[in-house]
Amino acid sequence: MTFSLSNFEPDYTLLAFFFIKAFLYTEVIGALGFIRMIVATRSAKWAAFGTFLLGLLALAAKYIPAVTGLTGTNIGNNAAQLIAAGDGMALPLAASLTFLLSAVLPGRRWWVLDVVHLIAFLGFCGLWIYAQI
């Protein structure tokens, strides 16, 4: 009987989900929030500002403790807990919900941003469901 390493190869869809969840999704939604914050008016601008702040919070929690050497401190631990909340899904879903809120409030502009968000959200949720199976 021969031993094959192919049984130990990772599932590339799961690897894609983990990469997107860890490094892309919240930041991309935050960038969409920044664009909407610039072009929107009235209350949609404030919801987009919240989305942008969540994107900045995700960036800060991931990179500032490592860059500044605070990984073993309370600040680093709190940042790690923030990123890991809800199995790492709390921050991305919060950013998506605040961007969705900016889409339904008065003052929304550039519906293309909503289409991009919808495509990203459906893809992200599809990968999440695949990861749960």
- Give the three-state DSSP class for 106: coil
pTM of the model: 0.86
CA separation for the pair 66, 76 (Å, rounded): 8
CA separation for the pair 15, 83 (Å, rounded): 18
Identify the weakest region by mean pLDDT among 4-13, 16-25, 48-57, 94-103.
Answer: 4-13
CA separation for the pair 116, 126 (Å, rounded): 15
CA separation for the pair 45, 98 (Å, rounded): 11
pLDDT of 7 > 90? The answer is: no
Note whether 13 and 130 are within 8 A (CB): yes
